Amino acid sequence: MKLNLCSQLISIILLTGCGAQITRVENPERVGNEGKYQNLFDSHFVGEGPHHINDELDLLKPEEKKSHEASFLDPVPAHKYDKAHGYSYNDLVHQEININEHKRGQITWLGHASFLIQQMNHDAFVTDPVFDEFDGMAGWLGQQLSPSWIRLGEAPIKAKQLPFVSGVLISHDHFDHLNSKTLNNFNPNTQLYLPLDSGSDVDYSSGPITEMDWYTQSQHNNTKVHFLPANHTSARGIFDSKKSLWGGWMIDDGQYKVYFAGDTGYSDVFKDIRKKVGAMDVCLMPIVAYHASMRAVHMSPEDALQAANDLGCKVFVPWGYGTWTLGCEHVHEPLRRLDLAIRQSQPNFVVKALKMGESLNYHQLLSSAQPLRLSSKVNKINQLN
């Protein structure tokens, strides 16, 4: 089915739960969800695995191995060792955080799935900001039942420190990606972009809300905002699985395309995205929670590199590690495995792992007179762990 980006339906509805006015952007060429959304493409990974030769590698140091008995209701109980033993949160926080609203063509990692994106056209966005503990009674209960739900350290940046941000992009409604307390600390009139049918999952009073379907776009000041498909799922409670949409975002300032994948598994969706909206300049890619059956909805480092190749990325920045232990893996594993995967696959794009609060000026990198060479641009990933 060919989806036409120019063909979309825009309606305005009133969300009675919080009284907010929502602009809803739908793609009329997509089949109705009939109560539940589905991924456009099948996952390449079925069952428990192992799915890749690296799945069976032990990447932990002896001193990091502390036997651990998972709690009964741990969301991902199948892990042998304490997932944060030997990890220091402060070691992953950049020591010289300097947020400057006048920067252009720059991203700053704010932890987990959250990035500050400062474009060439003066528009600034934040992705999936969760700068507090998980929302509500469900979040509180999860913290009582499992340490996986508890932050490993304070967020390096708070929403009130970002008064120049005018748009927030949410990939889906899981607790580590959508947090009402954080959202309401942004400046009044901050535009909130959500997947379709996610408005009821948020109590947001700071600004207007736009819900978007896959392969639709909105205009935010001078930026084209695209909502794109992913291989994942959604749920805020026990009975609402897949009733709201999920996906990734691409923002285009006319000079650079910055892509934020959101949580996703690997599938042909990335080839489809490139076919419909073109190659990406910067790709912000998840590399966590990929063990066993979770591989269908999360990417390993090897998967993320392949997805970036499918997308035609020029700069690859990983995320997801170090803030919570929601996956099966130890905190140190994803970056070590990414380092190994780079050596195995020799990708033809720049890979840069950041510390929380650290910035990367992609404009300076991509506009350099020197040709981009992986060997000279990849940072020493193992230095971070």
Using CB atoms within 10 A of its CB, is residue 139 exposed (0-12), middle (13-18) or buried (19+)?
middle
Please report the sign of the dihedral spanned by the C-alpha atoms of residue 67, residue 69, residue 75, residue 78.
positive
Which tokens in the block code for residue 301? Answer: 């480092």
Number of DSSP helices (H) and strands (E) in the chain, helices first = 7, 16
pLDDT of residue 295: 96
| C-alpha distances out from residue 123 to 76, 204, 364, Å | 38, 21, 18
Answer yes or no: is pLDDT of 14 > 70: no
- State pLDDT tens for residues 174-233: 999 999 999 999 999 999 999 999 999 999 988 999 999 999 999 999 999 999 999 999
What would the two tokens of residue 228 be? 């794109």
Q: Give the lowest-confidence range in 122-126, 189-193, 378-382.
A: 378-382
Q: Which pLDDT tens digit goes with each residue over 43-99?
A: 999 999 999 999 999 999 999 999 876 665 565 555 678 999 999 999 999 999 999
Task: Determine contact, residues 332/89, Cβ cutoff 8 Å.
Answer: no
Predicted model pTM? 0.94
> What's the order of all strands across the beta sheet hosting 114-118?
9-15, 20-26, 209-212, 191-195, 167-169, 124-127, 114-118, 106-111, 359-361
Helix segments in 146-242, DSSP class H: 180-183
Question: What pLDDT band is residue 35 in, cutting at 50, 70 and 90?
Answer: confident
